Amino acid sequence: MVVAIMLIGVGLVVWKKKVGGETHQSFNTLSKDEIELLLTDAARNNPAILKRFKDNPDLKKTQLDSFRELLAEASEAQATGLADQQTNKQELDSIAAEVTAVNYDREVNKDKGPMPPFGFVTDDQVKAYWGEDDQPAAQKSGFASFMDKLGLGHAADTRTHAVEFDDFLNAKIDILKQGNPEMKDRQISDEEKEQAKEVFAKIRIYRKEFNDKADAGQLDPQFVAKVRLQIKLQQAQFLARLYAQSAKDQLNVTDEEVAKYISEHPELDPKEKRAKADDILKRAIGGEDFAALADEFSEDPGNKGPDGKGKGGLYKDVPKGRMVPAFETAALSLEAGQVDPQLVESDYGFHIVKLERKLGVDPTQKSGDGKPSTTETYDVRHILISTMTKDPDDPMAREMPVKEFVKGKLGEQKQKDLIDKLVAKNFVQVPDDFDVPEVTPEQLDQMKKQQEQLQQQMQAPQGAPTEGDAPPPTVKKVDPKAAPKAAEPKKK
């Protein structure tokens, strides 16, 4: 349910709310100025984003709808108390600290040369951070000690840094286990804990520096505004994910709803396709050449050979369990040479089935090691009259089973209705339009240089030094979900 927000950078953000309980951040409003600030910041890294918005007005609407959905879900998560659950509250604080530190590190050390994240935080600073736990209240700075006694100190309140770290680590482990049940018995090693403790200290040191300097007016106001805006959006993304998980049942589409929709849309009713399949079945049962009928009528793309000629609907040596259950059950209930007297219906359409060879082990087949195969297979012919459909509103859409299409359409409508309801309930306000800043020649030139540098890094031999102050990026490979062949009755 949570949509990807194009304008939000990869850095995380700061949450002004303390773990101890300051006023909640508000997520129901995003101003035109805030959106334009995001655009200006995004353009520093990728000016092409601005060009895309200028060239495609629909993209602006899509972006605004994405923001509206994000803020609605985040506001509802907050309203229903998800943000107040201890683990989530701690994670919000952790995200805040991490991203504040990342942004601050980049800003104050941008001209100091390459270093690992938080590399400019010294060991002495880290030792001093942990050493504060042993410092008596009387030795603290007067104002800080006074505020702590009143319970109005900074994020730690009266908790020691060690307690803060334990809360942080426990929350991280809880979230890890919630997201991956296989990790429920995972134990954090002492080495991992020490590494986490060092990074934790550096992040908190930088968060405090940022907040102190921002409060004192010692940082660029636009930089502070950008970080605090990222706070709101990144925290909103976290809360929106929590809400999406809790709202899954509201978006379920039932079989009854799918059937009702199809009955109300005659263009999706497959009765004409069924009548056509029935006529072909009668001809096959009547003794006409099954292979010739398959080559003439079958809408199975798998029936075409490399030469473009039909294969008579034949599937040879089909391992048991490969085809969809309805198809395979019908095929294996027949005798060799028999045509099923009934149409077989699947999500792909209506199948006319003829069994050529009964299930058994073919001694002429070999397994991977060259030995005779022990896999049970059968030979079957079929003619498919497809009932697949395409979304008429999407010219690039793939064909899909009618039920899948309808389920997706109803799911989208349920989600839209839910978001509209949440927008109204939580008084979400997002502008109807925004201005796209101009891209300067300097920005385009900088982007060109970055692209050239990236290309050099990608082409460099493994282990060879590359120019620039950052290693080549890691590209995550994604396995796209292959669309099922429209007519081939493959196992789901």
**Complete DSSP assignment for 210-254:** HHHHHHTT-S-HHHHHHHHHHHHHHHHHHHHHHHHHHTGGGG---
Could you identify the residue written with the tokens 């839910």?
418
**What is the pLDDT averaged over residues 360-381?**
76
Report the side by side order of strands in the sheet with 314-319. Answer: 314-319, 376-386, 349-361, 344-346
Give per-residue pLDDT as tens, 127-153: 999 987 665 544 544 544 444 444 444
Cα R_g (the chain), whole angstroms = 31
**What is the pLDDT averaged over residues 289-294?**
95
Using alpha carbons, select from 392, 416, 391 the residue that is nearest to residue 401.
Answer: 391
**What is the pLDDT averaged over residues 418-426?**
96
pLDDT-based confidence at 39, cuts 50/70/90? Answer: confident
* Crossing angle between the packed helical segments 57-79 and 48-55, to the nearest 10 degrees: 110
> Which pLDDT does position 159 carry in this prediction?
74
Q: Kindly tell me the sign of the dihedral angle through the C-alpha atoms of 379, 381, 387, 389.
A: positive
> Which pLDDT does position 55 carry in this prediction?
83
Q: Give the list of residues 6+ apart from residue 185 with CB closer than 8 angstroms, or none.
A: none
* Residue 437, φ and ψ in degrees, nearest 5: -60, 155
Give the separation between CA 56 and CA 63, rounded to whole angstroms.
11
Using alpha carbons, select from 324, 234, 342 the residue that is nearest to residue 278.
Answer: 342
- Give the bridge partners for 357, in sequence order: 379
**What is the pLDDT averaged over residues 41-60?**
81
Side chain identity, residue 196: A
Give the separation between CA 487 and CA 299, rounded to whole angstroms.
6
**What is the pLDDT averaged over residues 411-423?**
95
Could you identify the residue written with the tokens 């530190």?
101
Could you identify the residue written with the tokens 């109005």?
152
What global pTM score does this model have?
Answer: 0.71
Give the separation between CA 437 and CA 39, rounded to whole angstroms.
7
Could you identify the residue written with the tokens 């059968």?
378
pLDDT greater than 90 at residue 83: yes
Task: With H, G, I as helix, E, B as strand and everything else as coil, classify residue 140.
Answer: coil
Which structure tokens are listed for 94?
A: 């952790």
Q: Rounded to 5 degrees, what angle do the CA atoms 357, 362, 367 make?
A: 135
pLDDT greater than 60 at residue 456: yes
| C-alpha distances in Å from residue 33, one per residue of 67, 156, 225, 321, 484 | 14, 33, 11, 59, 46
* Crossing angle between the packed helical segments 255-263 and 402-425, to the nearest 10 degrees: 110
Task: With H, G, I as helix, E, B as strand and everything else as coil, classify residue 31.
Answer: coil
What letters, b where the CB count within 10 A reaches 16 and e where it falls short, cover 107-122?
ebbeeeeeeeebeebe
> Which pLDDT does position 477 carry in this prediction?
34
Give per-residue pLDDT as tens, 179-220: 787 777 778 888 999 999 999 999 999 999 999 999 999 999
Helices (H), 56-112: 57-79, 86-108
Give the separation between CA 199 and CA 284, rounded to whole angstroms.
73
Domains in the chain, CATH or no CATH each = 32-250+410-437 (no CATH), 271-386 (3.10.50)
> Which pLDDT does position 376 carry in this prediction?
87
